[in-house]
Amino acid sequence: VRNKRRAASEIGVRADLVRLPPSATLDETLREVGRLNERPDCDAILVQSPLPDGLGRAAERRVFDAIDPGKDADGFHPINVGRLVQNRPAIVACTPAGVMELLDRSGIPVAGRRAVVIGRSDIVGKPLALLFLHRDATVTICHSRTPELPSVAATADILAAAIGRPGFVDRRFVKPGAVVIDVGINRVTDPAVAATLFAPDSARWASFERSGAALVGDVHPEVEQVAGALTPVPGGVGPLTIAMLLRNTVRCAQRRAGLAD
């Protein structure tokens, strides 16, 4: 949240943080969202998830559904998801939008290429697959029940991993020269796991030994040797996600002012 607020202030967006106590009930949370929906000086709303454990997953869905779709900075509201499915102007989930921005700004074409997305979550895998589809890629979505995952992944010209397992995608998953997008952000504290990821003489191992933890993606560092391009973790998709959140915020404001679709 601190990062998002700092980034917002850098582009002149005022970000107010509404902090509810961990004991807040579903009704109190919905009332707060309702107040923000009504506030004319509020253009965009983001509910930081996960919500407190006590509320449960069904409550989280109700809170997200309660956000005015026109103020939905995250692009998670079913109206915005439906518009994305139909390839109509929509507020698009930030991480998948960031992946497309990253490809575009790196001059990597998508049309006509084979894209494989590993992960089918509502916030990353599914919307990313739709964005690839709308850009004329041939898309395969893989998940925890996909048989022969490494060989399916290795058909990709563009491979995106959004799984949540450190270093899961190794060189077997990657066609030489493929573009690999690592969406995963995993905090590793177990030295045995870190030892499977970092060479003993590497800077990353030294840093892990110093701090006792490392942030790693879903893609194993060895993939760097076969991929044509690979996004780093940290510092790849993550910062683009924050940038897209701000773009969505500005877009919500423009739409409310009648200046954008």
Q: How far is the CB of 142 from ligand NAD (least distance, A)?
A: 6
CA dihedral over 35, 40, 41, 43, signed as positive or negative: positive
- Among positions 128-147, residues that touch ligand NAD (CB under 6 A) are 142-144
Q: Please identify which residue in 124, 137, 180, 181 interacts with ligand NAD, judged by CB under 6 A.
A: 124
Binding region for ligand NAD (CB under 6 A) out of 25-33, 152-160, 184-192, 208-216: 184-192
Q: CA 82 to CA 157: how far, in whole Å?
A: 27
- C-alpha 50 chain-centroid distance: 14
Exactly one of 16, 48, 136, 225 is catalytic; name it: 48
Q: Which of 51, 84, 110, 185 binds ligand NAD (CB under 6 A)?
A: 185
Verify binding: residue 46, ligand NAD, rule CB under 6 A: no
Tell me the three state secondary structure of residue 70: helix
Contact flag: residue 127 with ligand NAD (CB under 6 A): no
55, 59, 123, 133: which one binds ligand NAD (CB under 6 A): 123
Examine residue 69 and tell whether it contacts ligand NAD (CB under 6 A). no
- Residue 92 as a binder of ligand NAD (CB under 6 A): the answer is no
Q: Which is nearer to ligand NAD, 24 or 55 (CB)?
A: 55
Length of the chain: 261
Q: How far is the CB of 87 from ligand NAD (least distance, A)?
A: 22
Active site residue 74: yes
Q: Is 215 left (phi over 0), alpha (psi -120 to 50) or beta?
A: beta
- Cα→Cα distances 132→12, 188, 192, 247, Å: 32, 30, 36, 20
Known catalytic residue at 4: yes
Q: How far is CA 179 from the centre of its chain?
A: 17
How wide is the angle at C-alpha 34 spanned by C-alphas 31 and 40, nearest 5°?
Answer: 140
Alpha-carbon gap, residue 176 to 229, rounded angstroms: 10
Amino acid sitting at position 211: S
Residue 171: C-alpha distances to residues 103, 162, 167, 190 (Å): 21, 16, 10, 22
Give the binding-site size for ligand NAD (rule: CB under 6 A). Answer: 23
Q: Which is nearer to ligand NAD, 186 or 249 (CB)?
A: 186
Nearest CB to ligand NAD, comparing residues 24 and 123? 123
Q: Does 162 bind ligand NAD (CB under 6 A)?
A: yes
Catalytic site includes residue 254: no
Q: Which residues are catalytic?
A: 4, 48, 74
| List of residues contacting ligand NAD (CB under 6 A) | 95, 118-121, 123-125, 142-144, 149, 162-165, 183-186, 237-238, 241
